[in-house]
Chains A and B, each alone.
Chain A
Amino acid sequence: MKVNPQTDQFGAVPQHTENAQPKAGDQTFNKVLGGAIQVAGQLASTVAGAQGLGLGSLGTSLASGLTGGALGPGGSGDPAFTDLLALQNQMQRESLVFNSQTNISKTDHETRMSAVRNIKA
């Protein structure tokens, strides 16, 4: 079977171009953004590690302490950082609700199975 291409859409992929050199102002901005992301990542990993070890209250106090330090007494901090903390709080609440629901389901299932085990012909 002979194929006659009608378009050139399957032509050679163009070579990638060199990256443009960043300007001095961009480098400063990248440094600041990178630092903020690093701090947020450390905070998230610290709190997540504490939660995983069963130190939920310690993690919360750490988070609140860090929040106070980062945002200052006025409470006006980086909006992205605040959003991150709000997201983290929401995740903790959802995790709590999920754990409660699974515990209730587990207890109910065990009760049903105990009724099944009680069956005697």
Chain B
Amino acid sequence: MATKLTASVFGPEPTATQVLRFLAESAYLRYYRGQIDQAVSAFKALILLLPDAAVGHQGLAEVYMSQSKFREAEREAELAAKSPAADRRTTAFAYKLRGKALIQMNRLKDAEKALIRAAEMDAGGEEGKAAQVLLDACRRVGVFPTAAAKP
């Protein structure tokens, strides 16, 4: 049965990359569906299998953010941002996540730095623009105290 299932999903000879991508997508699917415990297990498995990839840490950071575990979310987002195999967009997303977690922890200077880093990391890209919009919005409403003093 399992052989038939894997053959129907991956073909007759699945590669390790295909299986790992499937695991990552299933982890996000569980997160989207609110199956948090299963999502955490899958993301932790991804971290064990792929310690250099950002996806496991990034997924865990998002799950912890949704559970209001900001300290854990910030730590995982930092690990995702420093992951050597991440591309610019993923790194910017991780910095943005870290900034959001830091805002919740009331570490506003660090949060501003993280968002600036995210905007610089993917300048012109989707995540860079999103980080810049978030940064501008935070400055406009006075979240960051240093920016409020600037003209």
Contacts and interface: CB of A to CB of B under 8 A. Distances in A.
Interface string A56-84: 00000000000000000000000000000
Interface residues of B, number: 23
Given A107-B130, A115-B90, A121 B28 contact: no
A111 interface: yes
Interface of A: 104, 107-108, 110-121
A4 B54 CA distance: 75
B89 A111 contact: yes
A116 B15 CA distance: 15
Contact of A116 (B16, B25, B85, B126): B25
A119 B20 contact: yes
B17 interface: yes
B9 interface: no
B58 interface: yes
Contacts of A113: 25
A118 B86 CA distance: 8
B50 A111 contact: no
Contacts of B25: 113, 116
7 contacts: A107-B127, A107-B130, A108-B93, A114-B90, A115-B53, A116-B24, A121-B50
Q: Give the dominant DSSP class at B's interface.
A: helix
Interface in B21-69: 21, 24-25, 28, 50, 53-55, 58-59
Contacts of A111: 89-90, 93, 126-127
Enumerate the 3 nearest inter-chain pairs by beta-carbon distance, A residue then B residue, closest first.
Answer: A121-B16, A115-B55, A115-B90
Nearest to A105: B32
Given A116-B25, A116-B28, A121 B126 contact: no
Nearest to A110: B126
A112 B59 CA distance: 8
B55 A121 contact: no
A111 B58 CA distance: 11
A3 to B, nearest CB: 50
A121 B18 CA distance: 9
Nearest to B62: A112
A121 B10 CA distance: 15
A118 B90 contact: yes
